[in-house]
Chain A
């Protein structure tokens, strides 16, 4: 089975180098063994592809395995079955070409903001000089000009999360994986930081895989929205969101925008908060 998949992918690769998706999963499944010896499926048969430069969101009810999916893609946990291809290569462990943003900022309190941003540089043993320059530019990009020498404790929640976005971009990853990055922020900050994220994305055009439980956020930010079912998580349907960019928050009150929101909400059985 694995061999078949592999050769298929090789054929696929040979055929169209141009349209090769940056990240692709085939039949990705994650199951856990329970205490009683049975197995519980967290994710079932996830096949998706992310094109270069695409912004894709995943929405789904709580506990549908969204975070598990991100951890699988990031190589933080191993899958039970299926494959992940990154730039056409079978990925079996963490890929250095990915940047991860967690639900909490996960900043190290003993490092300054700039040093936090430079953490991947230290781990990946990249050149310090140019990285530091890039770090300062990224901090400016996320609106934290002049905060380089501060410690995380001195920053608000929104600023901390923006620092972690800068950190996820420092090693110039091909993909940004974001797991409900604004989940812990208040509504107003969320709105602002969504706008910021759009601006950052437009400036970088990185492929973004964005997990959220906010339908509004998903529709507002994405080229495509994947809707997942309750556990075991599988992809129910995908929506292409055609609005031109940059998008304004006024868009969210438009009829067409709300049509998408309504469709997605109905699909989820109104189990998710908008």
Chain B
């Protein structure tokens, strides 16, 4: 078999990355220049659209300040990330386990599926006030909100993964008189994994979204809390700075999940989308 890969894959990918990075840099420089000039030229008030330089200053101020003070991004971000990761973890375990149980036990599936459909159609953000009543203004209600938004993409994609398994793989196991347990762990679980990851990739984004929403509605700490506070004092540059922080965090989380996916389901080409959510 001929080896069609480039001779120096590391150098090749570094080169590709450098070129992509360069274009991104050029694009960003153009955007910021245009933005700064427009704000000055049209005399846009800073509470409508702050200058990029003002956003930068707010960003630096929030980053360098003592990390234990309320003015620090780190202080606020820590709480947001805490809720996001916990909510995500709970939803992942619950979603994958539920999907596995529903696939293995048809009765459970028949019993639960109506609720899945109902809850999935419900705009989950609308139950956030209930979480505040049940869990208070502490981190628990944020975790609950993050988990409830994250659960469905993971559950539905996992269900899809478990139900589209190549029939012959199962027939092979039947021909070997394999137990149900063996068929599940040797065939069904790994076959479903690429779909599970599609759900997890969506889920991590939803977890952050859920946390921020919960913070808007009522919380003591977190990026969402800061954004609504800054908004109430018309510190638009500060709001923009927080958005930049969120973009970076979100990007890092997604990249981490993608890297994990490539490592765990290395055999899959990553095109396992079920078009759910």
Residues of A whose CB lies within 8 Å of any CB of B are 71, 74-76, 93-96, 98, 100, 102, 104, 106, 108-110, 119-120, 122-124, 151, 153-154, 156, 171, 177
Contact = CB atoms under 8 A, between A and B. Distances in A.
B15 to A, nearest CB: 25
A102 B168 contact: yes
| Nearest 6 CB-CB pairings of A with B | A109-B267, A94-B177, A100-B175, A74-B175, A123-B176, A106-B168
Interface string B167-197: 0110111111110001000110010010000
A119 B186 contact: yes
Given A108-B190, A109-B267, A124 B168 contact: no
Nearest to B268: A109
Which of B168, B169, B175, B186 has the most chain A CB within a 10 Å cutoff? B175
B111 interface: no
B267 A110 contact: yes
A96 B168 contact: no
A156 B267 CA distance: 16
Contact of B186 (A75, A122, A154): A122
A82 B65 CA distance: 83
A122 B185 CA distance: 11
B1 A94 contact: no
Interface string B252-269: 000000000000011110
A104 B177 contact: no
A103 B186 CA distance: 21
Contact of A156 (B1, B173, B193, B268): B1
B166 interface: yes
Contact of A104 (B168, B187, B267): B168
A109 B193 CA distance: 12
B177 A95 contact: yes
A75 B175 CA distance: 6
B176 A124 contact: yes
Given A76-B171, A104-B168, A154 B1 contact: yes
Interface in B210-236: none
B2 to A, nearest CB: 11
A30 B166 CA distance: 23
B78 to A, nearest CB: 37
A171 B175 CA distance: 12
Nearest to B168: A106
Nearest to A159: B1
Which of B173, B174, B182, B190 has the most chain A CB within a 10 Å cutoff? B174
A108 B187 contact: yes
Interface string B55-88: 0000000000000000000000000000000000
Contacts of B265: 110
B177 A75 contact: yes
A76 B175 contact: yes
Interface string B238-276: 000000000000000000000000000111100000000
Contacts of B172: 100, 102, 106, 119
A163 B267 CA distance: 17
Given A123-B186, A151-B267, A76 B174 contact: yes
A34 to B, nearest CB: 20
B175 A153 contact: no
Contact of A120 (B171, B176, B190): B176
